[in-house]
Structure formats: structure tokens, C-alpha cells
Amino acid sequence: MKNYAWILILAISTTAAPLLAGAQNNSPADKKPTLLPGLDKQLVDTSADPCTNFFQYACGNFPKLYPIPADQSSHGSFNMVFNYTEYTLHSLLDKVAADNPSRTPNEQKIGDYYASCMDTSAIYAAGLKPLQPELDRIAALTDKQQLTDLLAHFQLIGVDAFMGLSEQQDFKDARKQIAAIDQGGLGLPERDYYLRTGANDEKIRHEYVQHVTNMLKLMGEPDDKAPSDARKIMDLETALAKISMDVTSRRDPKNIYHLLPVSQLTGLTPEIDWTAFLEQAGTPKITDLNVVNPDFFKGLNTILASTDLDTIKTYLRCQLIDGIATFALPKALDEEQFDFYGRKLSGQPEQRARWKRCVQATDGALGEALGEVYVKENFPPTSKAATVQMVNDIESAMDKDIDSLTWMSPETKVKAKEKLRMIANKIGYPDHWRDYSALKVVRGDAYGNGIRATEFESRRQLAKIGKPVDRGEWGMTPPTVDAYYSPNMNDINFPAGILQSPFFDPKSTDAENYGHGGAIVGHELTHGFDDEGRQFDGNGNLADWWTPEDGKRFDEKADCEVKEYGSFTAVDDVKVNGKLTLGENTADNGGLRLAYMAFLADAQHKNIDLNAKDANGYTPVQQFFVAFGQDWCGETRPEQLRLQVQTDPHSPREFRVNGVVQNMKEFGEAFGCQPGQPMMPVNACRVW
């Protein structure tokens, strides 16, 4: 079961392919990963003109100094913090993995979970035996009417065959938690992978069919039968893709909210007994739910009715392998999964070391248990206090920014400020830690641990349906190197993992901290007022609080960014999707402006001389912009870049820098750019 809670996340592409290698590497590299300073002059390419290509200027030397590791599809400033944090977590887990009776219950759970994941000898020796009960469930199907119970069970163990069941806050009443049922069941990243024309997409589809063929053979299917069955699965998934909503359309919350009676869902898909499905999945008794894409479920009924049971059973076997905890797979299946999803789709040459994958698996299963130990050792109260102060400063800057907008009416400004004052700030870690006492972790049972952890989380999520919303809950674990804004919660969330150098460092200058971390804070804050977030009010309800005239002017301002970013070529002939990336581009642009305003106010308060140059020859304002640019230093493999542009609402790193600074005349003035140069165009875009 996936959690479809609708949040807007600052994506950083730090996670490598979530697929495990057969080869085991039990210890990390001898040298602990390093963190970048607040401003690293070594990264600066002095041969580049900052007014022509600021990304190249601020980051041009990064690929030479820090080339992409073989086990990653991209590498950059965020990856370095991710790798550093991962190493820290490994050291922590190595200690608690020792079978010591003095361990706390949570230390026992995270230590045994990690140790079991690392035990490749036991995992590989077991082969497919741990999966056999699930394979037997599929084999036992003799009638499509039996699908209901099996699909409900699959939802609990993380296998989203045909659909995904979840809970979410009600878009129209954010105090309520409701059930949601969404489209699902695709093996390729997104629906358009099945439908786009062109040589590259044809190649990926061909490779995917071969991958499915290989998977079926490894699960015991005869060599002469697997290719035709793989083709049938491709045809089935293509039919699912045709009735699925595309990623750009899903960005509009109005498109993904349809509160319907369960009886109406039954009318859409009578092939499934929805009352029994919900009961078997363990949801509280409900009368209605959000059917995210009604057209999908109407089309799903036709697909289920017209597809033979043997094809459905073969499809379910592949979905099972795709859905279960990958660290528990037999070696050959594991390597086949990586070959397609890691090497072919993302261009990643090598699988990640086993210890790295097991660190991430433990964080995914027991994130707050691991996080509680992590923050005690790595996130002092002083860091939290300093971050809180920066957030407050940037929120004050947004208050002033709203006042300065010439396109917004006084009436809408009042409501915008009301929403701003209601935003909750979550810094570092939750106030109350999650209780994992009901989760059973058995040392040596990697597969069972993965299944039990997934079912524990699925049941925890579904049990929230019908209960008051817990506004203190977090959607990320404390060690996560990321941040997000939730429009339903109307809160911004900054885990401890991201509050490290260079994004925040007490030893850095104020200019550097505001350029790095301040821009990230401003980014998340602006999400509350981008093309999606602006549709929710301060209470988190989907409500139109804009005057019609202001809404129209906002759309006109936003359209400037759509066209601007849509003109950027990401890789080969693939351009950035200006509509898909609009929210993130708005947040990048608005976020840096807010951080800049807050920095100027801070400098004035502290009597900082904005004309004084540091040892590198930069004024504080130039420091601010170089620090911001170095947030996004790095490079991405072409395969991963293509994947990102086609599925991710975030622009590639180069355009997260150049696309922003070219819209700020303050940048051009700081570096002496002339109007008409690439980084100081005559006509710039600005929403916030």
C-alpha cells in the first residue's frame, strides 16, 4: 500500500536505485564522506562568465572534483550530504546490530532488522521459499471473484497490483482522514512510457518485455512460455496506462479528488467486491472514499472482464516481485531487477553496496526509531533554534513580499497573510516518537521483517481513517536529506538530515546560510502559494480564497514561467515540461527571493557591510548567490536525466540555478551583468 497523502516535496535525487546487489559489501569505505563548506571556491569555474551561465560559474569544477560514483545515477551537493548521513547511520546501526541484551527495544528492532538485511548467506540460501506462500495464493486462484481478497491482502504487503489503497486528509475538510483508492499496477515509471512514440521509448519497452521475460524464467516459468507471457503482461499494462491519468494532470488537486459513495465505486468496477475488499484490507467501516481517478476504475472493470485468468495470475506474480522488500530477493532476481531499473532506466553502472541498501531499508521500515537515536547524537538544540529563527525571518520576508505585490488586490492579500500566519513549522524531528512495539522483528528473517514492517505501516495508515488528523505527524524520517510542504496540513517540514553543511552550518557566514538553507526554507514556504498550494486555505481545505481577477493575474504570471522553463533543453531533444515543473519552479524562484529579503534584513540588523569583500573576493550579496548556486552543483547521467524530465515535477539542476537568477535583477546587479545578457534578460518572470 502506498501512502497517497498529497505533499509537495523538494526533490534532490539523492536516492540511488532501490534495488539490491547479489554481491555483498559489509563495510563502508575507509574514508568517511566529506561535507562541503558554505561556499567552496574550488567548485567555481572562473573561466565561465556568471552573467552568461551562472550554474557553470558556481559549479563548473564539481564534476572534476567529485565525479559520479559508479553506484549512483547522479551526484551533487545533496548527494554528498546524503552519503555523509548514510555513513553516520551505518556506524550507528553497526553498534546496535550486535546481539546485546542491554539494547533498548527500539535498538533491538533497528539492529536486528539491519543485521538480517545484511545476512545475504541466509537470504540467498532461502531462495524463493519465503515467497512461496504468496505464490501459492496466486496459483490457487480459480475464479476472478477470488481476486477481491487477494488484491486486498496484496495492498497490505505493499503490492499495488491494479490499484493503490491509502488514507489521506479530506481535501474539502482537512480535519478528517478518509480512504482513497488510486490508479496503479504499472511496471514502468509512468503511463506515457507505454504510449510515447520514438526510438528511445520503443527501446525501453523492448527492454522491459525482456526484463519481464527474465523475471518469469527466474520464478520457474518454462523458457518457451516466458516470452509470450511477458508480451501479455506488456499488453495488460499498456491497457492500464491508457486509462491512467498523466503526471501533469495529477498536479491539479481538483483532478485527483472525487469523494464518492462506496456503492458508486461498485458501479464503476463491479468485477471487484469493494465492500469485501475494504473489509479484508482492514479499513474502518466507511460509506465513502476518494476515488482519485474514476475513469481508471471504470476502464479497469473492462480490463478485468476481458483478460483471461492465467494472464492475470502471471501479472500478479510479477507485481509481487516488484512490490516486496527488495533486500529479501534471491540473488538472480535481485540482479535482474537492478539491471533494468538501475542500469537501463537510470544509467547506473553498479549496484550500491549492501550496507548502504540495508541502511536505507532500516530507515524506511523503522525511520523514527532510527531517527530518535540519530538526532540525539547529530542534531543539537542549537541547530534547531538557529533554524527556527531563519524560518521566522523568511516568513517575515514573505509578509513584506505580499505587501509589495502590484498584481494582488488588498482583499486577497489579507487572506494570503492569514494563511501565512497559520503555517506550522516542523524542524528536525517530531515532538512525539512513533510506537513500534507492535512490530515484530526477528533476527535472521529478512523477508519476514520486510513483510511485517510493510503491513505494520499499512495498517497504521488505514487505522487513521475516520479519526481526527494528527497535525504533529511527519511524512519524512529525521535523517532524511530533504524537505517538504503539505497543503492539507499547511506546514513546512525540515528533517534534521538536511540541516547540515553546506545547507546550514553555524560556522558559515549569514550570507552563505541564507543562500543555502534560506533558499530551501523559502522554497517550501512558497509551495503554499504556488499553482497547487494556492488552491488550499490556511486550514488546509481545497477552497478558492482568491478574487477571480487575482486568480487570472496569478495564472498570467505563472504562464511566463511555464514558457520560460519549457524552452530549456534537458537532454538530447527532450525539453523541460514547463507545466509539470511549474510548482517547483515557482517555489525555487519565490524561495530565493524570500531568502534574499530575509538576508538583507538580517544584514541591516547586524550592521553587515554589503560592499565589503571576503578572502575570496566576494561581497556578502555575491556570497549569497554563489551559495545558492552551489546547492545544485553536480551532474546527472543522461538516462537518469531523461527519466527525471519525463516523470519528475522538478527541473534539472542547471535550470534550478539559471532559471532562478535570470529572474532576479538583484543577481545581475551584484555581478555587474548588463541587460540582455542570458542571466539578465530584459523580460523576466516573477510570481512571488
Task: Point out the residues that are catalytic.
Answer: 524, 588
Interacting residues of 597 by C-beta distance below 8 A, sequence separation 6+: 397, 400, 401
CA distance 118 to 33: 21
**158 in the Ramachandran plot: left (φ > 0), alpha (ψ -120 to 50) or beta?**
left
- Cell numbers for 311, please give them: 494472464
Report how far residue 269's alpha carbon sits from residue 264's, in angstroms, rounded to the nearest whole number: 9
Q: Which amino acid is at 41?
A: K
Q: Phi/psi at 300 (nearest 5 deg)? A: -60, -35
- How far is residue 108 CA from its own chain's centroid? 29
| Torsion over CA: 188, 189, 193, 198 (sign) | negative
From CA 449, how far away is CA 441, in angstroms rounded?
Answer: 6
The C-alpha atoms of residue 97 and residue 104 are separated, in whole angstroms, by 12
| Residues 6 or more apart whose Cβ sits within 8 Å of residue 202 | none
User: How many CA atoms does the CB half-sphere of 6 hold within 13 Å?
Assistant: 31
User: DSSP label at 146?
Assistant: G
What residue type is 214 in one-letter code? N
Hey, what's the cell of 120? 545475504
C-alpha cell at 489: 496540513
- Distance linking the first and last C-alpha atoms of the chain: 37
The residue among 508, 493, 531, 478 whose CA lies nearest residue 631 is: 508
Q: Which three cell numbers stand for residue 18?
A: 532501490
* C-alpha of 580 from chain center: 15
* Pairing, β 483-486 against β 424-428: unpaired
Cβ-contact 273, 151 below 8 angstroms: no
State how beta strands 491-495 and 424-428 pair.
Answer: parallel
The 3-class SS string of 607-638 reads CCCCCCCCCCCCCHHHHHHHHHHHCCCEEECH
H or E, element range at 259: strand 259-261
Are the beta carbons of 634 and 40 closer than 8 angstroms? no
Contact 335, 21 (CB under 8 A): yes
Nearest residue to 208 (alpha-carbon basis) of 348, 17, 342, 340 = 340
Instruction: Say how many C-beta atoms besides its own lie within 10 A of residue 363's C-beta.
Output: 25
Q: Which of 160, 152, 468 is nearest to 283 (CA)?
A: 152
Dihedrals phi, psi of 358, to nearest 5 degrees: -75, -30
H and E: helices and strands count for the chain = 29, 12
Residue 613, sorted as left (phi over 0), alpha (psi -120 to 50) or beta, turns out to be beta
* Burial of residue 432, with CB atoms counted within 10 A of its CB: 0-12 exposed, 13-18 middle, 19 or more buried: exposed
Strand order in the sheet with 483-486: 8-10, 483-486, 491-495, 424-428
